[in-house]
Amino acid sequence: MSRARATATVAVTGAAGRVSVTVPAAWGRQVQDAGWDLTPTGWPAAPAAGSPWPATSPAGETRPRPPPGVFVGLANGLRVPAVQAAGSRCPYVEDDRTIAGLPATVRRHQPCAGSAAELVEAVLAPRDGRYVVFVQVKEPAGGDRADRVLNSLTVRPPA
């Protein structure tokens, strides 16, 4: 594979136009604009914007899945601690930063037993807490694209 092909990217936007992210081109072939199951966060089943690129497991699902992939979800009314509690149970290192102009907490998880994937999760929310954006990036162990994916995220706040 040529170097140009290995680093090619594609921008992907959710159907509602609220979130977009740039992913490696090889990851962007399987866009699924689907709802986000909020029951792991303690909320009753209800629709929320969620777009896996390609299909990955949303928060709360810990079984290994083949990498790579990205999940982006946006929901009104959720609180950051509830979303973080529903994330991966694998050990992690956490740092706070700004992503898409929003305060964010990023957790870089060590691979869970039996998984060939590394997982990076980010939870973003404006200071007023009106909505939460959750991002999961799964990539092969030793990969280096998660930060680029997170830095490409754009968010259009709900009205």
- What secondary structure, in 3-state letters, does 6-69 show? HHCEEEEECCCCCEEEEEEHHHCCCCCCEECCCHHHCCCCCCCEEEEECCCCCCCCCCCCCCCE
Residue range 107-122: mean pLDDT, rounded: 80
Distance CA 116, CA 118 (A): 7
Mean pLDDT of the region 116-132: 88
Residues 62-103 have pLDDT tens digits of 434 456 888 888 888 777 777 777 666 778 889 999 999 999
Between 152 and 26, the higher pLDDT residue: 152
CB 28 within 8 A of CB 10: yes
Query: Which tokens sit at 150?
Result: 């997170």
All structural domains of the chain, each given as residue ranges with its CATH number in brackets, are 3-143 (3.40.1000)
